[in-house]
Amino acid sequence: MTLSGADFRATNLTFANLFDEAAHPEIANRQAVAVLTRADRLIFDRVRFLANQDTLYVNSTAAGVIARSYFRDCYVEGDVDFIFGRGTGVFARCHIHSLNRGSTPNGYVTAPSTDITTPHGLLFSRCRLTSDAPAGTVFLGRPWHPSNDPNAIGQTLIRESWIGDHIGATAWSDFGTWPWRDARLAEYRNYGPGALHGDDRPQLTRAEAAENEITDFLGDWKVC
């Protein structure tokens, strides 16, 4: 489903792409987008997004165009880059579930492609990140550069969220030749068995966290 109209709201719905990648190994390109957002001020309340690879495409009409989506008490399920794009997406109290692909790595939760002129990308606040995959086989994300766009400096921030042990000590991954350390990837006060600390787990400072609240991502949009 593609959403191109502003001020859309969905409540108590399920969006699913039911392509079964395990049953069709002969298909090389296995993306299975359930929802593509392109517009500004989209609200999803208690909505489920189900697919495998590329489940939820949080996008905009063009690079540098602000397109905000607010996900509240939602459930998102997938495996490879299953929350991705250049749009601004706020996930509040959501359940983010990584499927077990039976491989290593088992997948990547996010693949942001936020334009360098866009101040805010993907924010996960007070969410729960779970998986049935073995410990340490899933990454929180990797920076996507569509068509090798050097200005796609992706942002994923995960704060005050519970993280399962499917996430290992190195939580972020390079994307081809694009290093994850050049992107805007960080955490803040997460907890749970997968909320580890170290050189490969960048953390926001208290001052940086104060400038990256939900209200900062939404800007002048007052969500009700």
Query: Strands 95-98, 128-131: parallel, antiparallel or unpaired by DSSP?
Result: parallel
Q: CA-to-CA distance for 64 and 97, rounded, in angstroms? A: 29
Active-site hit among 40, 79, 81, 115: 81
Query: Up-side HSE of residue 96: CA atoms within 13 Å toward CB?
Result: 36
Let me know: does 188 contact 211? Beta carbons within 8 Å. Answer: no
Q: Is 199 a catalytic residue?
A: no
Active-site hit among 40, 54, 115, 165: 54
Q: Is 81 a catalytic residue?
A: yes
Task: Return the closest-CA partner of residue 118 out of 94, 74, 149, 142.
Answer: 149
Within 10 angstroms of residue 129's Cβ, the number of other Cβ atoms is 24
Token output for 190: 């997460």
For 162, residues 6+ apart whose C-beta sits below 8 A from its C-beta are: 127, 128, 129, 190, 191, 192, 195
- The residues annotated with a catalytic role in the active site are 54, 81
